[in-house]
Amino acid sequence: MIYSSNQIKGIIVEGCDCSGKTTLIKTLKVVLCEFGWDVMDLGHKEGNQFDRYMHTYAQADGVLFDRAHFSEIVYGDAWRQGKHFNSWERNFLDQFAFEKFIVIFTQVPSETLKKRYQERSFKQIISLDELEKIQTKFAETLSHPKTITYDSSCIENLTILINNVLEILKNAGIKKNNVKP
């Protein structure tokens, strides 16, 4: 994947609960703060979803997104009877995201997903029975050649992923403190 500095507006991190998304975002936040980047949570909010995501994506410059329109699709299908985007809106958002953002999908084997769920000490919004289905739906939704899939079940994978992201940013000409060539 070859990007240029005017192409990369940010990074989108997606995945179901217990997939390692939060740990990845915390790590990326530390690394990317040296580039002047910020973190933004794009969880569901009421209103016109297409306008909300398009406006946010268009305004982004050096932003690490915790969730994006992909979560809107997956969780919208699971919990809101598919009320999110019509087909042209989804196609437009998908195309924009894959052209302008590094998209990372966090996942783990089913056994690890369930173990992490059961080890959490707080009440989950998602049920244990839904976990695997949601992860599968994310895999389908993010089945694009530019998606970087990250298996968080092995700690070494985190280092590899961070190095890959830094290499992509370097090759795109994005430097520390958001100084672009």
pLDDT per position as a tens digit, 141-151? 999 999 999 99
Question: How confident is the model over 5-17, as pLDDT tens digits?
Answer: 568 999 999 999 8
Check residue 1 and give its pLDDT: 54
- pLDDT of 39 reads 93
96 belongs to a structural domain:
yes
Domain-located, residue 71? yes
Tally the domains of the chain. 1
Is position 77 within any domain?
yes
The CATH number of residue 160's host domain is 3.40.50.300
Full domain range(s) for residue 83: 11-172
**Which residues in the chain show pLDDT less than 50?**
4, 178-181
Q: 101, 12 in Cβ contact below 8 A?
A: yes
Q: What is the pTM of this model?
A: 0.90
Q: Is residue 108 part of a domain?
A: yes
Would 1 be classed as within a structural domain?
Answer: no
Q: What pLDDT sits at residue 122?
A: 73
Flag whether 59 is in a domain.
Answer: yes
Assess if residue 22 is contained within a domain. Answer: yes
Contacts of 173 (CB under 8 A, 6+ apart): 4, 5, 180, 181
Phi, psi of 63 (to 5 degrees): -125, 135
